[in-house]
């Protein structure tokens, strides 16, 4: 197996097989099937919402590369008059800087420094992007999901239902066939905002937002909450997960916020925190009726995908690893998404296949009807607590 992996890693540097999950299944008897927001996808690796899903060209490239899914840039909700209560998040900023971010124990990860926030163009243009995503989804080429930042009130205030209704109805109209899938973003800049100073206020959002979106949608809808890393301790992070029981899925967790520099950041501090909280979350008794989980944060190897999967994540969303200097990828040809997939799946030491085979050798993952299955990793985590 090891020799085969090395051979594949080498020959796929120029080009991944068109249907690499089928190749993996045929050659290694490994079933990479994963799940995002209730939809089965051929493997667990998708693109997180952000600057890499702003136009149909990027989506086309992702479909060609073989990504499992892509979440569109977060749009700021509006009502039928165009009013956006969260307008402070619809600001324009183009410059991104990919840089090293040191963490404890001498580890230097990567982060993208960027001062922007949500979608800053007209909503009509976002809806055109949703329609392009719908066509790719219907064609079975790439599952595409919109992301929204809806109004979040202070404790004493009501939700602006008009913004929920109008925005969701427009998305449903663009998507047409049920169910509508939506991710609701709780961003790091929100975590850093005075709005998120109050724990009770945050917990109310998490309890009420899925209900608000369901009530607003003219067609059946599945809701993922992309939880922020709040500026409180790990125990509160778990409380946030428990408060989100009304969602269909949770994306765990968006980037950390550096208040001094006033930027969001990732790297090892982010994955340390996320994995620590996810591990706590799985302790027996702490998880009544949990929604499905998707991991995000500092994923730059198959091994890191396994860390999230073994804590219950059914898929993962990446951003930074699709933005590295070309010299960081072993592949010599293809888009960054393609080169990233090559490393994440086939790296002979740190790739997903190498990691799953190693778990099998250690007796931590068993074949079912002759196959190792990615989705068994999380099921095992839940059983084991």
Closest CB to ligand FMN among 166 and 257? Answer: 257
Which residues fall within 8 angstroms of residue 11, CB to CB, at 6 or more apart?
Answer: none
Q: Which 3 state secondary structure label does DSSP give 126?
A: helix
Residue 114 makes contact with ligand FMN by CB under 6 A: yes
Q: Does 274 bind ligand FMN (CB under 6 A)?
A: no
Alpha-carbon distance of 67 to 343, in angstroms, equals 13
Sole window of 55-63, 110-118, 206-214, 279-287 interacting with ligand FMN (rule: CB under 6 A): 110-118
Closest CB 78 distance from ligand FMN, rounded Å: 16
In order of 47, 86, 304, the CA distances from 152 in angstroms are: 25, 8, 33
Q: Return the range that interacts with ligand FMN (CB under 6 A); candidates 27-35, 60-68, 297-305, 350-358.
A: 297-305
The single residue among 21, 42, 295, 297 that binds ligand FMN, judged by CB under 6 A, is 297
Contact 229, 255 (CB under 8 A): yes
User: Per this entry, what is the length of the chain?
Assistant: 385
- Which residue in the shown chain puts its C-beta closest to ligand FMN? 48
- Assess 321 for contact with ligand FMN (CB under 6 A): yes
Q: Which of 139, 146, 138 has the alpha carbon at shortest distance from 171?
A: 146
Task: Find the binder of ligand FMN among 78, 185, 269, 314 (CB under 6 A).
Answer: 185
Smaller CB separation from ligand FMN, 128 or 286: 128
Cα dihedral across residues 316, 286, 220, 374: positive or negative: positive
Minimum gap (Å) between residue 75 Cβ and ligand FMN? 9
List the x/- string, 129-158, binding to ligand FMN by CB under 6 A: ------------------x-----------
List Cβ neighbours of 334 (8 Å cut-off, separation of 6 or more). Answer: 14, 15, 16, 65, 342
- Residue 317 in the binding site for ligand FMN (CB under 6 A): yes
Between the alpha carbon of residue 54 and those of residues 133, 167, 209, the distances in Å are: 11, 18, 25
**CA distances in angstroms from 336 to 44, 95, 157, 171, 328, listed in the order given:** 17, 19, 44, 29, 10
Contacts of 73 (CB under 8 A, 6+ apart): 49, 50, 51, 53, 54, 118, 119, 126, 147
Task: Return the number of the residue (164 or 322) whose C-beta is nearest ligand FMN.
Answer: 322
Report the residue from 85, 298, 301, 315 that binds ligand FMN according to the rule CB under 6 A.
298
Compute how many residues bind ligand FMN; rule: CB under 6 A. 27
Shortest distance, CB of residue 180 to ligand FMN, whole angstroms?
Answer: 17
User: Both tokens of residue 327?
Assistant: 């010299």
Residue 299 or 359 with smaller CB distance to ligand FMN: 299
| Angle, CA 186 vertex, CA 183 and CA 192 arms, to 5° | 165
Measured between alpha carbons, how far apart are the two ends of the chain, in Å? 31
Distance CA 101, CA 261 (A): 13
- Does 170 bind ligand FMN (CB under 6 A)? Our answer is no
296 binding ligand FMN? (CB under 6 A): yes
| 54 to 73: interface string for ligand FMN, x by CB under 6 A | -------------------x
- Of the pair 133, 357, the CB lying nearest ligand FMN is at 133
**Contact residue for ligand FMN among 54, 96, 203, 219 (CB under 6 A):** 96
Alpha helices for 244-311 (secondary structure H): 268-281, 302-309
Instruction: Report the site for ligand FMN in 323-382 (rule: CB under 6 A).
Output: none
Single out the residue of 42, 46, 48, 210 in contact with ligand FMN (rule: CB under 6 A): 48
- Contact segment (CB under 6 A) with ligand FMN among 48-56, 60-68, 169-177, 216-224 equals 48-56
Q: What is the contact surface with ligand FMN in residues (CB under 6 A)?
A: 48-51, 73-74, 96, 112, 114, 118, 147, 185, 187, 226, 254-255, 266, 270, 296-299, 317-321
């Amino acid at each position: 197996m090891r020799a085969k992996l090395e051979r594949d890693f080498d020959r796929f540097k120029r080009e991944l097989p068109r249907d690499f999950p089928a190749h993996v299944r045929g050659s290694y008897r490994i079933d990479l099937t994963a799940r995002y927001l209730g939809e089965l996808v051929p493997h667990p690796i998708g693109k997180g919402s952000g600057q890499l899903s702003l136009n149909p060209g990027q989506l086309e490239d992702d479909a060609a590369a073989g990504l499992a899914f892509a979440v569109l840039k977060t749009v700021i909700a509006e009502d039928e008059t165009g009013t956006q209560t969260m307008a402070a998040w619809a600001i324009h900023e183009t410059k991104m800087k990919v840089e090293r971010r040191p963490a404890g124990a001498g580890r230097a990860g990567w982060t993208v420094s960027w001062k922007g926030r949500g979608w800053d163009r007209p909503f009509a243009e976002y809806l055109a992007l949703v329609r392009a995503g719908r066509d790719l989804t219907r064609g079975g080429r790439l599952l595409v999901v919109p992301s929204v930042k809806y109004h979040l009130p202070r404790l004493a205030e009501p939700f602006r239902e008009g913004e929920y209704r109008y925005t969701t109805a427009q998305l449903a109209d663009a998507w047409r066939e049920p169910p509508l899938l939506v991710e609701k973003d709780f961003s790091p800049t929100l975590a850093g905002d005075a709005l998120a100073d109050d724990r009770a206020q945050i917990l109310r959002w998490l309890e009420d937002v899925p209900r608000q979106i369901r009530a607003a949608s003219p067609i059946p809808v599945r809701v993922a909450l992309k939880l922020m890393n709040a500026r409180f301790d790990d125990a509160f992070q778990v409380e946030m997960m428990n408060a989100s029981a009304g969602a269909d899925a949770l994306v765990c967790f968006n980037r950390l916020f550096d208040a001094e520099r006033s930027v969001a950041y990732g790297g090892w501090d982010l994955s340390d925190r996320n994995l620590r909280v996810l591990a706590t979350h799985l302790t027996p008794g702490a998880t009544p009726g949990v929604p499905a989980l998707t991991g995000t944060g500092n994923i730059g190897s198959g091994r890191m995908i396994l860390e999230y999967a073994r804590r219950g994540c059914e898929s993962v969303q990446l951003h930074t690893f699709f933005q590295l200097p070309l010299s960081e990828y072993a592949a010599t040809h293809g888009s960054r998404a393609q080169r990233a997939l090559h490393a994440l799946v086939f790296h002979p030491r740190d790739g997903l296949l190498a990691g799953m085979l190693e778990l099998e050798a250690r007796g931590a993952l068993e074949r079912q009807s002759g196959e190792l299955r990615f989705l068994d990793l999380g099921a095992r985590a839940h059983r084991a607590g």
